[in-house]
């Protein structure tokens, strides 16, 4: 038997048999000369790693295993087809055919304890006898040579795995040596690739139904070639609305980066139009909005802008699309954000603000219209608004200024923000600044000089706002003069009214501002008309030119205006005669307020004789006590009173205790016999009896008041001797018989004066 020879490279033991006895045998695997017994070991052979023999070298390792029975090699047709390899080509070698008789397994590395527990013993096989060996050698000369040639030419696919070789690739596939003669190497099972979907032929396409063309095109979009996908997209576009069901497939196909396909899909989307309403429309359009196709993005943005309502989830992709290169996409996305409402404010407010200054006017307008839909900005956005208020682009300032003005002010910070805008070149910004400062009198006073400058602004709205603020700048040097000058030159009625209001509030009542007062009486608010009339009453007769406006105010709806106007007329004195008919007419109206009637009596009493004539007519009418009191006061201001008026005054003394003093003053000026006799009647204890009713007593105070007034009258000059005798007799009786000491005292005073 041939000796076993170990391979100095891989350590595998082989039965060394050589076809040429003059040459040493070689390892069939490594092509390294085997070391035969008695031969010196070849020099420069790579050492065998200790790790190949196990972890513990002290454990003995069997030198060889029993060799399994000889199995004839498989016919060539049963070998698996060689597979192409991709490792780098090795340099050509000289092929030497060595005869490998039987493999002697190399001692395997020592297994770990856990692995040794799982290892199974292999039965030992007795080596073949000499006769069988010679037969085997002859058979293997041909088979081994063919096997080695295939190994070197096609790669070492047929050799068994050698766990001790440090270059061996781990493979659990059993080697042919361990197979039974009837076993074959199975082909690996691989899935067959799905063939790409094919388009319907162009011939006869016109006769096919739209549903069939659409279904086929959708299938090609999913699994066809790029060229066919482009044609499928074009076919769907030609179907227009009939291919609406294919929109999801078209949008899904946008993931393909091919630019021609992207363009074809975008054009098809535009041709097909809007998708049918459904829960997935928004999600589908947002997917198309991220496409590389301009047509697809334009399509998606336009439809999103047309949606009646969008969810919060759409805000983030829409905000990202605000940076698109195409202006129509930016504009439509801005409009679409407005459909979300206030919930989009946090994410979209500042991006939309920045879009206001877009180079495209359509985009700028869409952003400006979308910002109000986000709701009033909260306080956290104030710094962003303050920063953008300084933007050089007037469009940004026009949007930001009203939003910032709606936020709560912060004192000095407010003045710092708004005062520079009072000098802005845009009238609307000057107006916003004035309105923002106007609620605070202190801030307006601080900016008084700039506000006065705006009284002559070119924009009427700015002038009106400045005039409204002017009432708070009274302490600013030259403010009243500037307001009065602006009033004289102003042509706009609304601005003129605001200027007049400021004048009424600021200036003192003098003749230089009568024009402003007259303007207020015509067009001012009720409060201002009342205030203007009161100041005219202070001016007095010098305000005669305001008579027309005051006369009109007599019929004003506001009682306060009517009263103030009547008092101003009374202050004019006899100059208000043209207004007497209208004043007297107030007593003929049923619903004239009592304070207005009382003010009218004051006018009648101030005019003179003409007014007294109207007052004498009133004594025959039933008027409220407040009016009677004013009539008594008016009569007391006249030197000569008719006898009917004197008698009326005597009668009012009992019911008008507040007017007794002015009545006494009026009666003391000029008395008459009838007046004195009427007064004597009130000195009795009982009133005249009326019918069957029991007699009533006069109040003690009215009896005493009558005796006192008689003592103040010039009875010697104004009444007859007969009347004086009646007075003397009555006074004597009272001085002796009346039980009221005050009346007795007053009676003695009258007697003393008459005697």
Number of domains comprising the chain: 2
pLDDT above 90 coverage of the chain, percent: 39
| 677 falls within a domain | yes
State pTM to two decimals: 0.51
Which tokens in the block code for residue 369?
Answer: 């219209």
Q: What is the mean pLDDT of residues 303-321?
A: 91
Higher pLDDT, 633 or 132: 633
pLDDT digits (tens, 9 = 90+) for 325-368: 999 999 999 999 999 999 999 999 999 999 999 999 999 999 99
Count of H helices and E strands in the chain? 36, 3
pLDDT at position 50 is 39
| 71 falls within a domain | yes
Question: At residue 253, does pLDDT exceed 50?
Answer: yes
Q: What is the mean pLDDT of residues 507-517?
A: 77
Whole-number mean pLDDT of the chain? Answer: 79
pLDDT digits (tens, 9 = 90+) for 640-665: 888 999 999 999 998 999 999 999 99
Beta-carbon contacts of 98 under 8 Å, excluding residues fewer than 6 positions away, are 18, 19, 25, 26, 28, 144, 148
Q: Which of 26, 20, 1, 36 shows the shortest CA–CA distance to 132? A: 1
The radius of gyration of the chain's CA atoms, rounded to the nearest angstrom, is 62
The continuous run of DSSP H or E covering 268 comes out as helix 259-272
pLDDT at position 51 is 39
C-alpha–C-alpha distance, residues 216 and 198, integer Å: 8
How confident is residue 389, by pLDDT bands cut at 50, 70 and 90?
very high
pLDDT at position 98 is 42
How confident is residue 99, by pLDDT bands cut at 50, 70 and 90?
very low
pLDDT at position 280 is 78
| 741 falls within a domain | yes
pLDDT at position 340 is 93
Strands 13-17 and 4-6: antiparallel
pLDDT at position 55 is 42
pLDDT at position 116 is 45
Q: What is the mean pLDDT of residues 551-555?
A: 92
Of 50-59, 61-70, 303-312, 469-478, where does mean pLDDT reach its minimum? 50-59
Question: At residue 707, does pLDDT exceed 50?
Answer: yes
Q: Tell me how far apart the terminal alpha carbons of the chain are, to the nearest angstrom.
A: 194
Question: At residue 543, does pLDDT exceed 80?
Answer: yes
How confident is residue 87, by pLDDT bands cut at 50, 70 and 90?
very low
pLDDT at position 144 is 60
pLDDT digits (tens, 9 = 90+) for 564-600: 999 999 999 988 899 999 999 999 888 899 999 999 9
pLDDT at position 393 is 94
Identity of the highest mean pLDDT range in 395-404, 495-504, 683-692: 395-404
Beta-carbon contacts of 493 under 8 Å, excluding residues fewer than 6 positions away, are 523
Higher pLDDT, 50 or 551: 551
C-alpha–C-alpha distance, residues 466 and 461, integer Å: 9
How confident is residue 315, by pLDDT bands cut at 50, 70 and 90?
very high
Residue in the structure block whose two tokens are 């080695």: 148
How confident is residue 439, by pLDDT bands cut at 50, 70 and 90?
confident
C-alpha–C-alpha distance, residues 669 and 640, integer Å: 8
C-alpha–C-alpha distance, residues 450 and 427, integer Å: 14
C-alpha–C-alpha distance, residues 374 and 358, integer Å: 19
Q: Tell me the helix, strand and coil percentages in the chain, rounded to 5.
A: 60, 0, 35
Q: What is the mean pLDDT of residues 519-545?
A: 88
Q: What is the mean pLDDT of residues 691-698?
A: 82
Question: At residue 689, does pLDDT exceed 60?
Answer: yes
- For residue 733, the enclosing domain spans 671-755
Higher pLDDT, 684 or 23: 684
pLDDT digits (tens, 9 = 90+) for 406-436: 888 766 688 899 999 999 999 999 999 999 9
Q: Computed from CA positions of residues 53, 56, 60, 65, in that sequence, does the dihedral angle turn out positive or negative?
A: negative
Which tokens in the block code for residue 221?
Answer: 């979009």
Q: What is the mean pLDDT of residues 527-532?
A: 88
Are 681 and 730 in contact by the 8 Å Cβ rule? The answer is no
Question: At residue 537, does pLDDT exceed 80?
Answer: yes
How confident is residue 82, by pLDDT bands cut at 50, 70 and 90?
very low
| 393 falls within a domain | no
| 260 falls within a domain | no
pLDDT digits (tens, 9 = 90+) for 9-51: 777 776 665 556 666 777 777 776 766 655 555 544 444 443 3
Question: At residue 172, does pLDDT exceed 60?
Answer: no
pLDDT at position 184 is 52
| 624 falls within a domain | no
Calculate the CA 362 to chain-centre distance: 21
698: exposed, middle or buried (Cβ count in 10 Å: 0-12, 13-18, 19+): middle
pLDDT at position 710 is 92
What DSSP assignment string belongs to 511-565?
Answer: GGGHHHHHHHHHHS-HHHHHHHHHHHHHHGGGGGGGHHHHHHHTT-S-HHHHHHH
Q: What is the mean pLDDT of residues 276-302?
A: 85
C-alpha–C-alpha distance, residues 299 and 268, integer Å: 10
Question: At residue 57, does pLDDT exceed 60?
Answer: no
Which tokens in the block code for residue 543?
Answer: 């305000």
Higher pLDDT, 716 or 365: 365
pLDDT above 70 coverage of the chain, percent: 75
pLDDT at position 488 is 83
φ, ψ for residue 725, nearest 5 deg: -60, -45
Distances (CA, A) of 424 to 257, 398, 403, 413, 419: 51, 11, 17, 18, 9
Which tokens in the block code for residue 585?
Answer: 């007419």
| 475 falls within a domain | no
C-alpha–C-alpha distance, residues 291 and 267, integer Å: 13
How confident is residue 89, by pLDDT bands cut at 50, 70 and 90?
very low
* Cβ-defined contacts of 279-283 (< 8 Å, 24+): 280/248, 281/307, 282/307, 282/310, 282/311, 282/313, 282/314
Question: At residue 185, does pLDDT exceed 70?
Answer: no
pLDDT at position 3 is 60
Higher pLDDT, 510 or 580: 580
pLDDT digits (tens, 9 = 90+) for 726-744: 999 999 999 999 999 999 9
Beta-carbon contacts of 658 under 8 Å, excluding residues fewer than 6 positions away, are 629
How confident is residue 514, by pLDDT bands cut at 50, 70 and 90?
confident
């Amino acid at each position: 038997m041939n000796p076993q020879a170990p391979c100095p490279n891989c350590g595998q033991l082989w039965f060394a048999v050589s076809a040429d006895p003059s040459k040493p045998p070689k390892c069939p695997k490594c092509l390294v000369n085997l070391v035969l017994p008695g031969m010196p070991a070849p020099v420069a052979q790579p050492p065998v790693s200790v790790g190949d023999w196990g972890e513990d070298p002290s454990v003995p390792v069997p030198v060889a295993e029993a060799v399994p029975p000889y199995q004839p090699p498989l016919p060539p047709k049963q070998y698996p087809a060689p597979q192409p390899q991709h490792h780098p080509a090795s340099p050509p070698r000289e092929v030497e055919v060595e005869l490998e008789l039987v493999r002697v397994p190399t001692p395997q590395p020592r297994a770990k304890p856990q692995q040794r527990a799982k290892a199974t013993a292999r039965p030992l096989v007795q080596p073949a006898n000499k006769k069988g060996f010679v037969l085997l050698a002859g058979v293997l000369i041909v088979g081994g040579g063919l096997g080695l040639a295939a190994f070197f030419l096609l790669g070492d696919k047929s050799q068994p795995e050698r766990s001790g070789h440090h270059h061996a690739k781990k493979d659990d596939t059993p080697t042919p040596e361990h197979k039974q003669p009837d076993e074959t190497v199975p082909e690996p099972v691989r899935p067959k690739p799905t063939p790409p979907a094919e388009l319907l032929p162009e011939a006869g396409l016109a006769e096919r139904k739209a549903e069939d063309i659409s279904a086929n095109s959708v299938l090609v979009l999913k699994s066809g070639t790029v060229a066919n996908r482009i044609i499928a997209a074009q076919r769907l576009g030609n179907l227009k609305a009939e291919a609406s069901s294919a929109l999801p497939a078209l949008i899904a196909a946008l993931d393909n980066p091919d630019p021609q396909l992207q363009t074809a899909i975008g054009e098809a989307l535009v041709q097909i139009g809007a998708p049918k309403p459904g829960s997935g429309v928004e999600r589908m359009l947002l997917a198309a909005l991220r496409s590389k196709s301009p047509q697809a993005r334009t399509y998606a943005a336009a439809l999103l802008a047309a949606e009646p309502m969008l969810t919060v989830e759409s805000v983030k992709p829409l905000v990202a699309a605000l940076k698109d290169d195409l202006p129509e996409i930016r504009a439509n996305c801005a409009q679409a954000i407005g459909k979300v409402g206030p919930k989009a404010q946090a994410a979209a407010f500042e991006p939309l603000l920045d879009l206001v200054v877009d180079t495209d006017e359509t985009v700028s307008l869409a952003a400006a219209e979308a910002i109000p839909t986000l709701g009033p900005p909260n306080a956290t956005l104030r710094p962003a608004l303050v920063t953008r208020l300084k933007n050089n682009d007037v469009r940004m300032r026009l949007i930001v200024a009203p939003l910032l003005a709606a936020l709560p002010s912060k004192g000095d910070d407010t003045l710092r923000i708004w005062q520079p805008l009072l000098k802005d070149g845009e009238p609307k910004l000057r107006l916003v600044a004035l309105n923002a400062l106007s609620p605070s009198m202190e801030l307006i006073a601080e900016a008084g000089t700039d506000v006065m400058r705006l009284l002559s602004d070119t924009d009427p709205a700015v002038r009106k706002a400045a005039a409204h603020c002017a009432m708070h700048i009274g302490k600013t040097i030259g403010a009243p003069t500037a307001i009065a000058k602006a009033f004289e030159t102003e042509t706009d009625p609304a601005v003129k009214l605001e200027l007049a209001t400021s004048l009424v509030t600021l200036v003192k009542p003098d003749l230089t501002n009568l024009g402003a007062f007259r303007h207020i009486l015509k067009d001012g608010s009720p409060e201002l008309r009342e205030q203007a009339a009161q100041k005219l009453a202070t001016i007095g007769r010098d305000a005669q030119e305001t008579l027309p406006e005051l006369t009109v105010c007599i019929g004003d709806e506001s009682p306060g205006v009517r009263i103030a106007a009547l008092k101003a007329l009374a202050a004019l004195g006899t100059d208000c005669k043209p207004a007497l008919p209208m004043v007297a007419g107030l007593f003929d109206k049923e619903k004239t307020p009592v304070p207005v009637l009382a003010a009218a009596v004051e006018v009648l009493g101030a005019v003179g004789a003409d007014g007294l004539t109207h007052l004498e007519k009133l004594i025959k009418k039933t008027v409220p006590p407040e009016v009677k009191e004013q009539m008594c006061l008016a009569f007391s201001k006249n030197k000569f009173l008719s006898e009917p008026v004197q008698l009326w005054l005597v009668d009012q003394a009992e019911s008008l205790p507040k007017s007794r003093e002015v009545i006494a003053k009026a009666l003391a000026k000029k008395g008459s016999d009838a007046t004195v006799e009427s007064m004597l009647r009130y000195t009795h204890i009982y009133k005249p009896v009326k019918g069957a009713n029991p007699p009533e007593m006069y109040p003690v105070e009215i009896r005493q008041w009558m005796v006192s007034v008689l003592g103040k009258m010039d009875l010697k000059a104004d009444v007859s001797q007969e009347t004086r005798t009646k007075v003397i007799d009555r006074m004597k009786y009272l001085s002796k018989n009346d039980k009221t000491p005050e009346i007795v005292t007053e009676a003695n005073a009258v007697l003393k004066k008459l005697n």
